[in-house]
Amino acid sequence: MVLAYALGFFGGLAKTELKPPKELTEALSMYLLLAIGLKGGVALSSIPLASVAWPLLATLVVGLLTPVIGFGAARLGKLDTVNASAFAAHYGSVSAVTFVAASSFAEKQFAALPGYMPTLLAVLEIPAIAMALLIATRAKTDVKMGPALREILSGKSTALLVGGLLIGWLVGAKGIEPVKPVFYDLFPGALMLFLLDLGLVASEQIDELRRKAVFILAYGIVVPLINGCIGAVIGHSVGMSAAGITIFSVMAASASYIAAPAAVRAALPEANASLPLAGSLAVTFPFNLAIGIPMFAEIATRLTR
């Protein structure tokens, strides 16, 4: 998966003709989100719902805390309140593809994955982006909270994740069998194709990366490290397993490039959305993929030992 992303990134820089049709990438995005939801719903159907209460509370805490850290770090970088809030929204929210990569790694490393993790993924986006937009209201009175929240709640990613969770939870392990080859066996190949395209998209952000290279590089690595360590400690405090802590800390360390850009565009149209997007795609995502995921897995192992 890492090599597929690298192929896309360097292929994009070399101006190769790797770009897949837009319809294919949209279909792959829908497939991955629905598959994540289905897998989580099936796993959730076999565990008591009461066992999810503390992890859900931990997710809300992380969702409120990480955008505050992201905003403070952006202000230290001399960004104005509006653009600092845009960074806070991106880095407080979560990357579904990073979640998938972390889940694949944790499944091989620890075998059993907590079934409620996709539920936490669906929950984390909303409070983090809402908190970032609330911070923006300190300096602006015309922040369009309503359109932004509607964008999050009715967006494709939320609908597919929540819908998949409900379907998987309703049908259970037996009911998913007829479509299991499609949504389980083909999943790694679809993810590889999606990461190839994501590498191409990241290469398109290289000009923005050059303009504020030092700030974006520092922010895109340091803030995820802080957020990820906070996620690991909070995950451990609510009794998550090593696999759960790994995925949860990576979720906290990830940065959104789907839901957050859409919400920021709706609520803060004057923000320079290309800067946090460049950090998210060209710095934070590859950093987590190559270094962050195994590092947080080691932290999780030591915490639970």
- In the chain, the domains with their CATH numbers are 20-304 (1.20.1530.20)
Contact between residue 4 and residue 134 where contact means Cβ atoms under 8 Å apart: no
Give residue 271's identity as a one-letter amino acid code: A
Residue 146's pLDDT is what?
A: 66
CA 119 to chain centre: 13
User: What's the pLDDT tens digit per position in 209-232?
Assistant: 788 889 999 999 999 999 999 999
pLDDT at 151 over 70: no
Across the chain, which distance is largest between two alpha carbons, in Å?
55
**Out of 52-56, 205-209, 213-217, 239-243, which region has the weakest mean confidence (pLDDT)?**
205-209
CA distance 113 to 125: 21
**pTM for the structure as a whole:** 0.80
- CB crowding 123-158: b at 16 or more within 10 Å, else e: bbbbbbbbbbbbbbeeeeeebbeeebbebbeebebb
More confidently predicted of 43 and 216? 216
User: What's the pLDDT tens digit per position in 256-293?
Assistant: 887 787 677 777 778 887 789 889 988 999 999 999 99
CA distance 8 to 289: 14
CA 56 to chain centre: 16
User: What's the pLDDT tens digit per position in 164-204?
Assistant: 888 988 998 899 999 999 998 898 888 888 888 888 888 88
pLDDT at 142 over 70: no
Give the residue carrying structure tokens 């159907």. Answer: 45
Among candidate residues 250, 271, 249, the one with its CA nearest the CA of residue 260: 271
pLDDT at 296 over 80: yes
In the chain, which residue ranges form alpha helices assigned H by DSSP?
A: 2-13, 22-44, 53-76, 81-92, 96-110, 117-136, 145-154, 156-175, 180, 187-203, 206-211, 213-237, 242-253, 259-267, 274-278, 285-287, 293-304
More confidently predicted of 164 and 152? 164
CA distance 159 to 32: 13
